[in-house]
A and B are shown apart, each in its own frame.
Chain A
Amino acid sequence: MNAINQSGWKPEMGNAGETAPATFTGNKALMLEEALIFEIGTAATTGVDLADAPKVAARLGNLERHRDIGLPGLSEPETVRHYTRLSRQNYAIDLGFFPLGSCTMKHNPRLNEKVARMAGFADVHPLQPVETVQGALAVINELAMWLIQLTGMHGVAMTPKAGAHGELCGILCIKAALAARGDPRCVILVPESAHGTNPASAAFAGFSVENIPATSEGRVDLAALTARLGPDVAGVMITNPNTCGLFERDMKAISDAVHAAGGYVYCDGANFNAIVGRVRPGDLGIDAMHINLHKTFSTPHGGGGPGSGPVVLSEALSPYGPLPYTARNADGHYTLIEEETAQEYHPHSFGRMTAFHGQMGMFTRALSYIMSHGADGLRQVAEDAVLNANYILRSLEDVLEAPFAHSGPCMHEALFSDNGLADGFSTLDIAKGLIDEGYHPMTVYFPLVVHGAMLVEPTETESKATLDQFIGALRSVAERAKAGDPSLKSAPHHAPRRRLDETQAARKPVLVWREPEQLVAAE
């Protein structure tokens, strides 16, 4: 039965060989261009129905705002369409493989979203009486207990808002511990391969930062580090596994040497995913380590946050951790230790880092993820993450230079360099070529210790079939770069935008939208 065709409609395949003409709209079928809200909205449009305000005499201190604010409104259907169209111009972990090294782009389970949205967590105010938020405090406490157990540390500061905020927390603990013993040490040692946040955090707290070199194996040079230790060195900040994707074999020896010289050991825990459940940082002599809940524990990155960066602390540094924190009484009741009770329970705290109790919405998600995996599942997470990375390393080291592959297995990420590409071809071209293949590129040009670095972190939530296809795609793009294929220089060809002019953006910054006539007037 074919009712439509009875009236004469005949399906035709058309001519697949013709080139596509430019469209009237600039759209390409499902790839839709979208104007700015300032170009499509109006001041008179709103997508919200509000009750009329009762008539009262205003008590605004004669400060009524008369001038237009300049906020365009859209109706609800226009709003939903605007942001839906924008969303389709984003690459995301839900859409495909996202091997961005050091960022741990793993699957974000939707159960976590569901529990975070339960009214009991999403709809409670941070200053409610503690008797009315016992369940919320229980979540913070349960997550804290997991983090302490998984790291083998003594305590944990839950309030830091992201990884860099956590680094600052750890550094302030070190500063406070030194101050408590009247020790004026002022130097923090940071390996060359560190994340930029490490030296920035140390400098923010008033430390001067000195680099320590890496060995040809891509690890911290223990001899150089030991030689630099002395009465002015407050501590070291080391990433382990490091940003070359390698485990610092000498970590315990480094910690012992730093401690013997009177300093403290900060560990950047951005790469904890590689070792969770298999190694406890507490067993390596670490004094403070932040944990990016938005990396290891799967809370979504949201296009640039929010993150969450609890800091686990050794017995030596725990007394200095920030306020407020949650405590569980013997009767099972939870309390908040704030400035008021700090003198009694936490007299050496360095103080408050943020207005309230940290990233509650991330705590619920992370705890949900941790409970789902459990102790056995988390160990499997690390094993699969490391297995996937080594699989990529060994499958591609014949086509891309892997500078530290000779050092042994990598941890959760595989590092390649741009050595051996054709003249004029770089890591950037490979990255843009991968975009056309339907992937988010790996981290590029980081760590700085490798020329044209490409840092590939697959995570454990990718199947072997996904990895095999990616390996094939990266091999193909790398071979084009080695052969000097000019079409790679203009990649991406199929993304919503071609390469963007970042120089112009920085030279004449346009950071807000202005009416076209304003622009003319300003010329």
Chain B
Amino acid sequence: MLEVRNLVKHFGGVRAVDGLDFKIKQGEVFGLIGPNGSGKSTTVNLVCGIFPPTDGEIMLGNINLGAIAPHQRVDAGVARTFQNIRLFGDLTVWQNLWVAWRDQPGQEQGWVSNWFGRSTSRRQEIQKLLEFSGLGDKADHLASNLAFGEQRRLELARAMAAKPKIILLDEPAAGMNSAEVKDLCHRVLAMKEMGMTVLLVEHVMELVMNVTDRITVLNFGRPIAQGTPLEIQNNKLVQEAYFGSSENAQGGGN
């Protein structure tokens, strides 16, 4: 599905991502973890095209994402959420989904769709997505008036509304309490059951270890380990990267 080959991104002298390879399979929940500043969010931003990579290739199936504009990547099949919630606060919950909505993958709606009154079949589908997100009764609320957890769920729903092939979740559990994290676990697993492919960038280990199939651990922009959640938990290098080893606190990345 999503394949990243030798991805490199330098900001001036900072090597945010420095030779990253991974391959995400169809229907898989793939975790990307690592200490702060290890290049996780940069990777997501590179896949979405917020800035161009210094080097390397990003392929979605046989589409070269590097060759198309950021907004076209959504129709190619990439949707995302943001580390800091970015909703359209002045729009209603329903309109937030409506803006991103695709009836079929890759088909943006016309600008004048929904001439007076909302097309009933689309209305029902959007309502279904709202119910899935636990926002069924909030359709006409302003997005900015939602509670924090609801805003997180709305952002996730907006990403799903574009009918993507893969969803990139950039620290979706940031700022959540443990009950909300549990709820998010169920939600991600439900998405997986629906056949969605997910790239999860996350610090909250409770979420990562419960939902992912495979994990890549980054440190200083380079992958230091790859494997199942269990393998990663028992990996010495990973423990060092996170906590530092007793002999050399900086040892993990070098």
- A and B from one complex: no
